[in-house]
Amino acid sequence: MDQQFEKIKAIEVKIQKLIEFNKNVAEEKAMFEEENRQLTDEIKKLKETIRQHEQQIEFQKEQLTNLEDKNKVLNLATSETTETKEENKFLKTRIDEYVKEIDKCLALLDK
């Protein structure tokens, strides 16, 4: 009878170990499920952040395109102004030369 009692005791010890192991596995499972939930939430937040950054990039690309267009217009306006200034300077010089020639002609006529 002692053998049977020892076998029963050994089985009870193994059952207790299995119960403890099952409890530990269940705790680990709960811990991993919580970690999984947290990581899933973090992934959602990061995806939202990425989406916002992509929208911001698109907006900034549009702004850049608009600014480049404005810059082209300003450059054209500036270059036209520069050409006009250069033309004006050239014309003023020519007029000054004509005035000098006219003055010489008038001086010759007065003699």
Exposure class string for 13-28: b at 16+ Cβ within 10 A, else e:
eeeeeeeeeeeeeeee
Residue type, 28: E
Residues in the chain: 111
pTM strictly above 0.85:
no
The residue among 15 and 91 whose pLDDT is bigger is 15
- Output the CA torsion sign for 7, 13, 15, 18: negative
Q: Which of the four pLDDT bands, split at 50, 70 and 90, describes residue 88? A: confident
Containing 63, the helix (H) or strand (E) segment is: helix 2-110
**Looking at residue 104, what is its pLDDT?**
85
Higher pLDDT, 72 or 48: 48
CA separation (Å) from 67 to 2, 63, 73, 104? 95, 6, 10, 55
- Could you give the count of Cα atoms lying within 13 Å of 63 in the half-sphere of its Cβ? 6
d(CA 57, CA 29): 41
- pLDDT confidence band for 9 (50 / 70 / 90): very high
- What percentage of the chain reaches a pLDDT higher than 90? 59
Q: Per-residue confidence at 64, pLDDT binned at 50, 70, 90?
A: very high
Q: Considering the chain, what is the average pLDDT of its residues?
A: 89
Cα separation, 32 vs 24, whole angstroms:
12
- Asked if the model's pLDDT at residue 68 lies above 70, the reply is yes
